[in-house]
């Protein structure tokens, strides 16, 4: 987390359901504004509350504020060991900060999600605000607060993260807003732009598709992706990145180079499902034994179909999110629009990675 200025304080956390359990307290380092603080002693499957407290004494702490509203506590569930079930959401291209996006986020909040995947372009038109920090605070952190206070959100870079107003010290402000954990498998120059995480034995590979449009690191990232896909310790892998390899929408040709480098790797590794955004619509495409989902309907700025791509099963120019439910025997997805209407349902076949 980041404060706007250095302040004395503490990071507090405890189990949500154990009101008799006191708060564990970790002091904030003096003179700092950016913090990355590991929580220790968590019990798998247990839900926790976490609160930043500003002040010298534990008895008089106050919560930080974002645009005048108290921030926190944040609640999350420590991943359960051996639990095969997952329920997560997917949304993308939400970055205009409008009321309809807020309504979609509030709808998602009612689905008791374990986490959310964001397919990129989490903040648009940064030039409308005084700084990238203010733009992210207004159009992302404040907008997504109902979800962020209940479950983690894992984002990927979008093409608009490389717009000049979106840069800070020559890099996308994204990498400061979403501070990366140290990962020895990722070059230091790429930390925060591509990463992976595991839940319920499934590997989620979060990629930077802008590498195919001049941001750099294309070869390094593809080599890293190949290594991640070759790891046999996961049930299967789900890649997530912004530019779709296949689409019937406005940006039909933007994923051509990416498709040449990555699609065969996905096929060889038995990847069942790939998520992207970039086109502001919903589309499900089946190609070469894979399901490709375009989920870029996080705002009311929507794109119509241009030319149908081979394998397209469903296309909707509607605001939406995707609900994904995984058990030990089934992977299913449901696309849900802003009114709560089901746009699409599908069972996705899987095979061990």
- Confidence bin at 180 (pLDDT 50/70/90): confident
Average of per-residue pLDDT values in the chain: 94
Q: Residue 158's CB: how many other CB atoms inside 10 A?
A: 30
Percentage of residues of the chain with pLDDT beyond 90: 87
Q: Give the bridge partners for 236, in sequence order.
A: 202
Kindly list the domain boundaries of the chain, sorted by start residue.
Answer: 9-77, 86-347
* pLDDT above 90: residue 187: no
CA pair distance 140, 206, nearest whole angstrom: 19
Specify burial of residue 249 (Cβ count, 10 A radius: 0-12, 13-18, 19+). buried
Find the helix or strand (DSSP H, E) in which 172 lies.
strand 171-172
Confirm if 180 and 231 have CB atoms less than 8 A apart: no
- Which of 244, 245, 243, 195 is CA-nearest to residue 221? 195
Report the pLDDT value the prediction gives residue 167, as an integer from 0 to 100: 94
Q: What is the dihedral of CA 197, 200, 203, 206, to 10 degrees?
A: -50
Q: At residue 197, does pLDDT exceed 80?
A: yes
d(CA 283, CA 296): 9
Average pLDDT over residues 237-258: 96
Instruction: For 136-153, write each residue's pLDDT tens digit.
Output: 999 999 999 999 999 999
Q: What value does the mean pLDDT take over residues 115-131?
A: 96
Distance CA 304, CA 247 (A): 11
In angstroms, the CA 105 to CA 91 distance is 9
Q: Check whether 27 has a pLDDT greater than 60.
A: yes
| Poorest-pLDDT segment among 93-102, 191-200, 304-313, 332-341 | 191-200
> What is the band of 181 on the pLDDT scale with cuts at 50, 70, 90?
confident
Select 86-347's CATH number: 3.40.50.150, 3.30.70.20, 3.60.21.10, 3.40.50.2300: 3.60.21.10
Pairing outcome for strands 69-70 and 65-66: antiparallel
Average pLDDT over residues 163-171: 93
pLDDT digits (tens, 9 = 90+) for 53-71: 999 998 899 999 999 999 9
Q: pLDDT tens across 301-331, in order?
A: 999 999 999 999 999 999 999 999 999 889 9
**pLDDT for residue 190:** 83
- Check residue 85 and give its pLDDT: 92
The Cα–Cα gap between 185 and 330 comes to 31
Looking at the predicted structure, is the pLDDT value of residue 6 above 70? yes
The reported pTM is 0.95
| Maximum C-alpha span of the chain | 63
Q: Rounded to 5 degrees, what angle do the CA atoms 348, 94, 177 make?
A: 105
Q: What percent of the chain has pLDDT over 70?
A: 99
Question: How far apart (Å, rounded) are the C-alpha atoms in residues 340 and 200?
Answer: 28
Over 90: is that where the pLDDT of 250 sits? yes
Identify the weakest region by mean pLDDT among 188-192, 288-292, 336-340. 188-192
What is the model's pLDDT at position 352? 60
| Window from 114-118, 140-144, 176-180, 320-324 with minimum mean pLDDT | 176-180
Q: Which two tokens stand for residue 347?
A: 């069972």
Give the mean pLDDT of 248-272. 96
Q: How many residues does the chain have?
A: 353
Report residue 205 as tokens. 């590979």
74-106 tens-digit pLDDT: 999 999 888 889 999 999 999 999 999 999 999
């Amino acid at each position: 987390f980041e404060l706007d200025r250095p302040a004395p304080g503490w990071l507090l956390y405890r189990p949500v359901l154990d009101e008799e359990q006191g708060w564990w307290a970790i002091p904030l380092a003096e003179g700092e504004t950016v913090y990355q603080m590991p929580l220790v002693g968590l019990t798998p499957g247990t839900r926790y509350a976490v609160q930043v407290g500003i002040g010298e004494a534990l008895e008089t702490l106050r919560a930080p504020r974002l645009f005048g509203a108290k921030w926190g506590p944040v609640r999350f569930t420590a991943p359960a060991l051996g639990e095969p079930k997952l329920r997560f959401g997917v949304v993308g291209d939400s970055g205009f900060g409008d009321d309809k996006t807020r309504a979609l986020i509030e709808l998602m909040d009612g689905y008791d999600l374990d986490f959310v995947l964001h397919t990129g372009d989490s903040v648009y038109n940064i030039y409308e605000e005084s700084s990238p920090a203010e733009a992210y605070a207004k159009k992302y952190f404040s907008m997504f607060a109902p979800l962020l206070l209940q479950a983690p959100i894992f984002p990927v870079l979008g093409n608009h993260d490389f717009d000049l107003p979106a840069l800070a010290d020559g890099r996308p402000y994204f990498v400061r807003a979403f501070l990366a954990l140290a990962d020895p498998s990722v070059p230091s120059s790429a930390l925060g732009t591509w990463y992976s995480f595991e839940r319920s034995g499934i590997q989620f590979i979060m990629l930077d598709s802008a590498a195919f449009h001049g941001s750099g690191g294309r070869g390094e990232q593809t080599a890293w992706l190949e290594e991640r896909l070759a790891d046999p310790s996961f049930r299967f892998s789900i890649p997530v990145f912004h530019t779709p390899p296949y689409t019937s929408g406005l940006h039909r040709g933007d994923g051509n180079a990416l498709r040449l480098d990555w699609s065969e790797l996905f096929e060889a590794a038995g990847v069942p499902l790939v998520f992207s955004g970039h086109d502001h619509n919903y589309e499900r495409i089946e190609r070469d034994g894979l399901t490709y989902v375009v989920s870029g309907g996080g705002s009311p700025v929507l794109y119509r179909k241009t030319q149908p791509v081979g394998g397209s099963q469903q296309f909707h120019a509607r605001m939406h999110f995707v609900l994904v439910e995984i058990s030990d025997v089934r992977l299913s997805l449901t696309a849900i629009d802003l009114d709560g209407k089901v746009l699409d349902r599908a069972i996705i076949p899987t095979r061990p990675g």
